[in-house]
């Protein structure tokens, strides 16, 4: 899978704003009511501190990434450490054909505001490629995790749909910073194993 296939699209006419620190954003236009409400939605206050974890310079920490199917336990992909991420490429997740599922991600933001966080996914099987791009949004630092549930999807079905699919996933922001990237795989089968 090439890097070009997993590059975030740019919205025509959209230009990310000038980069500002959390402290600068918190003080920006203190008398503007609508701007104050927007900053509060990002968790910023006029006395805001960056909220950094001790010694951890990352801005985005993915705490949980899971596949949800009604009536079944979540299938969690452990992305907590680089070693766990590397192991995912060797694991094979089984998905029953025709089942409706959704992806769910939990993440924390620390040290700075993250603008335009997106999840990108490229699924490949032979010549078939399926690309997904999901906007998660802009977030300010918070000790509490954020959660995003994606729209439900239906797994393909039939003899030709069954088999192993290879996936590359990536979390990236408007500044082009890749916060997490990993490879994994799943198999569509006639039934759960």
CA distance 193 to 182: 24
Q: Are residues 42 and 96 in the same domain?
A: no
Q: Are residues 117 and 87 in the same domain?
A: yes
Could you list the residue range(s) of the whole structural domain that residue 45 is in? Answer: 20-49
What integer pLDDT is reported at residue 7 of this predicted model? Answer: 72
Count of domains observed in the chain? 2
| Residue 116: HSE in the Cβ half-sphere, 13 Å Cα cutoff | 17
pTM greater than 0.75: yes
CA distance 88 to 2: 19
What integer pLDDT is reported at residue 26 of this predicted model? Answer: 62
CA distance 122 to 128: 10
Alpha-carbon distances, residue 80 vs 11, 64, 88, 172 (angstroms): 31, 8, 11, 17
Q: Are residues 116 and 168 in the same domain?
A: yes
Q: Are residues 151 and 64 in the same domain?
A: yes
pLDDT at 80 over 90: no
Q: Do residues 82 and 123 lie in contact, with contact meaning Cβ atoms separated by under 8 Å?
A: no
Determine the average pLDDT of the residues in 53-67: 86
Query: In 3D, which of 171, 164, 76 has the Cα closest to residue 124?
Result: 164
- Tens digit of pLDDT for each residue in 134-170? 999 999 898 899 999 999 999 999 999 999 999 999 9
Q: Are residues 43 and 130 in the same domain?
A: no
Q: Are residues 87 and 106 in the same domain?
A: yes
Q: Are residues 154 and 80 in the same domain?
A: yes
């Amino acid at each position: 899978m090439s890097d070009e296939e997993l590059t975030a699209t740019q919205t025509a006419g959209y230009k990310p704003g000038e980069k500002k620190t959390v402290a600068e954003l918190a003080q920006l236009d203190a008398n503007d009511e609508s701007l104050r409400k927007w900053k509060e939605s990002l968790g910023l206050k006029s006395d805001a501190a960056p909220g950094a974890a001790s010694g951890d310079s990352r801005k985005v920490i993915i705490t949980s990434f899971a596949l949800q199917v009604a009536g079944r336990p979540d299938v969690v992909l452990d992305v907590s450490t680089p070693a766990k991420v590397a192991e995912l490429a060797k694991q094979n997740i089984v998905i029953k054909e025709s089942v409706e599922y959704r992806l769910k991600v939990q993440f924390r933001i620390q040290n700075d505001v993250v603008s335009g966080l997106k999840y990108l996914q490229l699924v490949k099987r032979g010549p078939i490629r399926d690309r997904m791009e999901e906007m998660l949004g802009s977030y300010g630092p918070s000790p509490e995790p954020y959660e995003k549930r994606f729209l439900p999807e239906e797994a393909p079905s039939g003899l030709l749909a069954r088999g192993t699919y290879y996936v590359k996933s990536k979390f990236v922001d408007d500044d082009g910073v890749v916060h997490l990237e990993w490879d994994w795989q799943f198999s569509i089968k006639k039934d759960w194993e």
